Amino acid sequence: MKNIDLHLPQDALDIISELIAAGFTAYAVGGCVRDALMGLPPKDVDICTSATPEEMKRVFSASHVVETGLKHGTLTVMRHHTPYEVTTFRLDGAYTDRRHPDSVRFVTDVREDLARRDFTVNAMAWNPDEGLVDAFHGREDLAAGVLRCVGDPVTRFTEDALRVMRALRFAAVYGFQIDPETDQAARRMAPGLLQVAAERIRVELAKLLCGWYAGRILRAYPDILTLLIPELKPCVGFDQRNPHHLWDVWEHSVRAVENAPATEPLRLAMLLHDIGKPDTFTVDEQGVGHFYGHPKRSAELAEAVCDRLKLDTATRERVLLLVRHHDEALRPERRAMLRALNRHGEAALRDLIAVRQADAIATGTADPAEVRAACDGLLRALDEALASEACFSLRQLAVNGQDLIRLGLKPGPALGETLNGLLQAVMDGALPNEREALVGAVKAQLSQAQRS
Ligand code: ATP
Ligand code: MG
């Protein structure tokens, strides 16, 4: 008898029915079942089946399919431009490269496939005919908000240490309590993470940091976080001895993460923005702590962290920019805004304003409402500057290098300086961004140079 109905996309239901009609068993499985039971829209629907990859190819011969990982039993079926991963029920062998199982063995019973999965809440399968297949009491754990390994936690974390990060990630995203046995095993087996491919860790770390409950997890597991990012270790419990700071560097950083928008570059930047503080700490005669030059030191240390995590270039550059400039003064006056736009560009400047807000609120000594009002003011000034189509980059300037060469300047660094000088004058309002005026200014400069 069917025990429960789940709302899944029609295309996923069709793929499952087509497999069943061909004589196989098939289910939606993993994250989509968990999310649907929580009433959340599934991000993507993974399907598992008793059909082997060759058999699947026959069933879906009329569909657009991508042979994603035939060796591991996975075929991607496209429906309305959405990919559905369909995977043969399997058992995993050992993970000696810490990345993929060495071997997989295809099996015919969905329960065996569920047993290889990491957590009980991720080990449920469902189809419209049979309803929920829940061999490990995932539904109960889900209702109680508990994250628990399938099987013996120490064994499961030893097989694949990434599961330690996945435990923290699921707890950070959904607010699950990690079951005590799973928790203890995760702490004990965490050093295995050092052997896991950085690319896999990065994905889980990003999801963890962007989770609604990220702060709770960072506070509960500094030892695991500092294993991955040892540069953070001196921050934990580091007393700032500064009247503007209520919290130690670690707690401040955690609060900064919590107060930043949930994007990977912003949350990672908040986690790392003050890692240079312990290295730059000084105490003045009044006994007050200072951290002169810490943004630069933080950026140096953050660079090593980004490299270790193998971030893509765009994320890496954004994180480093935000860390390097997190303390920079931002002012709403038009001139200051144009200069900031010139230095960082629009997207990075928006992020810097978010960094400013999160950092200030996380000091514990500023009034959050005032901080938000000030940052809203900065955003308004930014929008106004953009709406006025003001010039803040060389690309927008009404003259270019060719124009100056025609006036007799030689190509080279001096020409670049002249262009930048014109841009500064335009941003300051000393010159209009008009060709004639700018050419006139250059000509005047040239004749003055000839005379002297
Ligand atoms: P999300 O919704 O964030 O994608 P998810 O649960 O779907 O979460 P995925 O990483 O997409 O997570 O993995 C899909 C499923 O595969 C999981 O639900 C789990 O059953 C299984 N799984 C993934 N990674 C592992 C692993 N390292 N060890 C065991 N099972 C895993
Ligand atoms: Mg998924």
Q: Give the pair of three-digit tokens for residue 413.
A: 């660094």
If asked whether residues 74 and 184 sit together in one domain, one would say no
What is the Cα–Cα distance from 50 to 27, expressed in whole angstroms?
Answer: 9
If asked whether residues 106 and 167 sit together in one domain, one would say no
Give the rounded distance of the alpha carbon of 236 from its chain centre: 22
Q: From 312, 243, 238, select the one nearest 275 (Cα to Cα).
A: 238
Kindly give the distance from the C-alpha atom of residue 286 to the centroid of ligand 1, in angstroms, as a whole number: 54
CATH code, domain with 169: 1.10.110.30
Quick one: pLDDT at residue 110?
A: 97
Which of 117, 162, 195, 200 most suits a substitution to test ligand 1, by most atoms within 8 Å of the C-beta? Answer: 117
| Segment holding 280, helix H or strand E | helix 277-280
Q: Taking CA 14 as the corner, what is the angle to CA 13 and CA 18, rounded to the nearest 5 degrees?
A: 120
Kindly give the distance from the C-alpha atom of residue 163 to the centroid of ligand 2, in angstroms, as a whole number: 14
Residue 63 within a domain:
yes
Residue 250, CA distances (Å) to 165, 240, 270, 393, 437 in order: 19, 10, 11, 38, 53
* Nearest ligand 1 atom, CA 34: 6
If asked whether residues 81 and 126 sit together in one domain, one would say yes
Which of 84, 86, 90, 118 most suits a substitution to test ligand 1, by most atoms within 8 Å of the C-beta? Answer: 118
If asked whether residues 45 and 101 sit together in one domain, one would say yes
Quick one: pLDDT at residue 70?
A: 84
Residue 32 within a domain:
yes
Give the rounded distance of the alpha carbon of 440 from its chain centre: 49
If asked whether residues 68 and 136 sit together in one domain, one would say yes
Q: Give the pair of three-digit tokens for residue 332.
A: 């709403």
Domain end position, chosen among 189, 205, 228? 228
* Nearest ligand 1 atom, CA 162: 27
Q: From 416, 424, 265, select the one nearest 342 (Cα to Cα).
A: 424
Residue 292 within a domain:
no
Query: 117: Cβ below 6 Å to ligand 1?
Result: yes
DSSP letter for each residue of 9-70: -HHHHHHHHHHHHTT--EEEETHHHHHHHTTPPPSS-EEEESS-HHHHHHHTTTS-EEEEEG
* Nearest ligand 1 atom, CA 160: 27
From the CA of 43, the nearest ligand is 1
If asked whether residues 102 and 189 sit together in one domain, one would say no
From the CA of 208, the nearest ligand is 1
* Nearest ligand 1 atom, CA 159: 28
If asked whether residues 36 and 122 sit together in one domain, one would say yes
What is the Cα–Cα distance from 289 to 351, expressed in whole angstroms?
Answer: 28
Q: What is the mean pLDDT of each run of 10 residues along the chain (452 residues)?
A: 82 97 98 96 94 96 91 94 96 70 85 97 97 97 98 97 98 98 98 97 98 98 98 95 93 98 98 97 94 97 98 98 97 95 97 98 96 98 93 94 91 92 93 94 89 82
253 and 259 in contact (C-beta within 8 Å)? no
If asked whether residues 157 and 127 sit together in one domain, one would say no
Domain end position, chosen among 114, 144, 174? 144
Q: From 43, 19, 13, 39, select the one nearest 31 (Cα to Cα).
A: 43
Dihedral angle of Cα 395, 399, 402, 405, to the nearest 10 degrees:
-140
Q: Is 263 exposed, middle or buried (0-12, 13-18, 19+ CB in 10 A)?
A: middle
If asked whether residues 154 and 51 sit together in one domain, one would say no
Task: Count how many domains the chain has.
Answer: 3
| Segment holding 75, helix H or strand E | strand 74-79
* Nearest ligand 1 atom, CA 114: 20
Give the environment of ion ligand 2: residues with CB less than 5 A.
31
In this structure, the residue with its CA closest to atom 16 of ligand 1 is 30
Query: 118: Cβ below 6 Å to ligand 1?
Result: yes
Residue type, 95: Y
Residue 353 within a domain:
no
Which pTM does this prediction carry?
A: 0.94
Which residue in this structure is represented by tokens 């923005």?
273
Dihedral angle sign, alpha carbons of residues 44, 45, 50, 56: negative
If asked whether residues 75 and 197 sit together in one domain, one would say no
The count of residues in the chain is: 452
Kindly give the distance from the C-alpha atom of residue 43 to the centroid of ligand 2, in angstroms, as a whole number: 7
In this structure, the residue with its CA closest to atom 6 of ligand 1 is 31
Query: 30: Cβ below 6 Å to ligand 1?
Result: yes
Residue 244 within a domain:
no
Residue 39 within a domain:
yes
If asked whether residues 181 and 67 sit together in one domain, one would say no
Kindly give the distance from the C-alpha atom of residue 53 to the centroid of ligand 2, in angstroms, as a whole number: 20
Residue 139 within a domain:
yes
Quick one: pLDDT at residue 32?
A: 97
If asked whether residues 213 and 159 sit together in one domain, one would say yes
CATH code, domain with 428: 1.10.246
> Which domain range does residue 182 map to?
149-228
Query: 31: Cβ below 6 Å to ligand 1?
Result: yes
Domain end position, chosen among 210, 228, 246? 228
Kindly give the distance from the C-alpha atom of residue 346 to the centroid of ligand 1, in angstroms, as a whole number: 36
Quick one: pLDDT at residue 451?
A: 85
Q: From 338, 332, 337, select the one nearest 397 (Cα to Cα).
A: 338
Kindly give the distance from the C-alpha atom of residue 15 to the centroid of ligand 1, in angstroms, as a whole number: 20
Residue 282 within a domain:
no
What is the Cα–Cα distance from 208 to 88, expressed in whole angstroms?
Answer: 29
130 and 109 in contact (C-beta within 8 Å)? no
Q: From 124, 137, 206, select the one nearest 165 (Cα to Cα).
A: 206
CATH code, domain with 76: 3.30.460.10
In this structure, the residue with its CA closest to atom 27 of ligand 1 is 163
Dihedral angle sign, alpha carbons of residues 274, 277, 278, 284: negative
